[in-house]
Amino acid sequence: MIEDMLRTPAAVRDAERHTAHNYHPLPVVISSAEGAWVTDVDGRRYLDCLAGYSALNFGHRHPTLIAAAHAQLDRLTLTSRAFVHDQFADFCRELAALCGKDLVLPMNTGAEAVETGIKVARKWGYQVKGVPDGQATIVVADGNFHGRTTTIVSFSTDEDARADFGPYTPGFRIVPYGDLAALAEAVDEHTVAVLLEPIQGEQGVVVPPEGYLAGVRRLCDERTVLFIADEIQSGLGRTGATFACEQEGVVPDMYLLGKALGGGIVPVSAVAADAAVLGVLRPGQHGSTFGGNPLACAVATEVVRLLATGEFQRRSTELGERLHAGLRALIGKGLVAVRGRGLWVGLDIDPTLMSGREACERLMERGVLAKDTHGSTIRLAPPLVITEEEIDHAVAQLTAVLAG
C-alpha cells in the first residue's frame, strides 16, 4: 500500500520509457538539493557521495555561486564569441592566473576540452615541433577515461565505451598507466603530446606510482613533447590541491579542466596553456557557440575565486584524511583495498560478498549515494563542503552494508 503512494517507481519507469539507455542510474529521483544532501520526489534525503563526478565540488547550490548566476541571469546570458562580453576577460585572466598559464580557451564539456587539447597539440606539433603533416601521434594510458566522443573512444581500453563505434581515429599509442619505461619507448620524433589523468577516476581512483608524474614531465622536456594533464575530475580541489599534479610538484604544459569549473550550475570547461602552445590557434580554426558565454563566465569566475582562498583544498586534505582512515579500518571486513587522495576514494569490495552495483543499491537504501565502476569497485567523491559528522555517517552506512 505504501509502495502505491510513492512517486519514485512511476517516475523511474517514465524516464526509462522515453530515454535512450546510455546510463544505468540508481532508482532514485532527485527533486531538490542543498550542500551535500539531496531530496527525492518522495521527500527522502540522501547524502551525496558522488558530487556529479566532481562537478559538485562546492556542493549543491553554493550560495555564492547561485548569487552569481542569478545576477547574471538578470543581465545577459549569451552573446556567442562573435562579440566580447563584460564577464569574459575576468574569467580568462583569473583562471589563467590560477593555472599559472598565459591563456585560456573556454569550452563547455570535459570531452570538448579534451578534443580541444588534441587539436592544439597536433597543430603545435606541425607548426612548432616540425612533425610531418598527418603523422602526429599522442601517447595515452590504458584504463583512461577522457570522454566518449568518437575520437576519444578510439583510444579507450574500455570495451563498453569503445565497441561498435568504429572506424576509429588513428594517431594514438596506448601504454600501461604508471609505466615510465613503456612511455619512453612509445615516444618518438612524431609524438606531439602525452595525455594523462594524474589520477584515473573512472578506472577506480587509481593513483600512479610515486614519481611517475615527475618522470613524465622530465621525459616530455627531454623529447620536446607536450604534457597534457586531464584534471577534469581530479582538479579544482578534489585531491587536496588545486590540481592533482601539484602532489608531485609537476606543472604540465596544458591543463584540461571542466566539471567543478561550472560550480554545479552550468557546463563549463577550459584549456589553459602558455601562449607558445595555445597561440598556434587562429580565428576560425576552433570554437563553440556556447563556449565562454556570459552566464558560464560569471559562475566560473566565482569558482576560481573560491579556489583562490585555499579553503576547499584544505577541507579536502583534512576531511580526506578522516574519510581514508575510516575506510581503511574496513579492510579485511568487506573491503580489500582503499586508494585515492583527498576527498576522492576508490574502494574494492570483496567480490564474494557483492558487486559494486549491489553495494551502491544497499547504500542508497541507507540514504547514501555512490557510484560503482568495474565490477566490485565503487567510488566516493563527496562535495568538499561535507562535514566530519557526515563523513562518519557515510562510513557507518558502508560498514553496515558490508556487515550484511
CA-wise closest residue to 390 among 400, 380, 382: 382
3-state secondary structure (DSSP) of residue 32: strand
CA–CA separation, 240 and 318 (whole Å): 8
Q: Does 312 qualify as catalytic in the annotation?
A: no
CA–CA separation, 136 and 343 (whole Å): 37
C-alpha cell at 220: 616530455
The catalytically annotated residue of 145, 155, 172, 243 is: 145
3-state secondary structure (DSSP) of residue 303: helix
DSSP state of 127: I
C-alpha Rg value of the chain to the nearest Å: 21
CA–CA separation, 402 and 347 (whole Å): 12
Burial 256-284 (b: 16+ CB within 10 A, else e): bbbbbbbbbbbbbbbbbbeeebbebbeee
Bridge partners (DSSP) listed for residue 105: 271
Burial 218-248 (b: 16+ CB within 10 A, else e): ebbeeeebbbbbbbbbbbbbbbbbbbbbbbb
Length in residues, the chain: 404
Provide the strand spans (E) within 70-170.
103-107, 137-141
Q: Does 230 qualify as catalytic in the annotation?
A: yes
The catalytically annotated residue of 40, 48, 230, 348 is: 230
Q: Does 101 qualify as catalytic in the annotation?
A: no
Provide the strand spans (E) within 274-309.
none
The catalytically annotated residue of 101, 123, 129, 259 is: 259
Contact status, residue 100 vs residue 154, Cβ threshold 8 Å: no
C-alpha cell at 183: 612511455
3-state secondary structure (DSSP) of residue 270: strand
Contact status, residue 242 vs residue 235, Cβ threshold 8 Å: yes
Burial class (CB in 10 A: 0-12, 13-18, 19+), 217: buried
3-state secondary structure (DSSP) of residue 359: helix
Instruction: Report the Cα–Cα distance between both ends of the chain, in Å, rounded.
Output: 27
**Kind and range of the H or E run holding 295:** helix 294-308
Residues designated as active site? 145, 230, 259
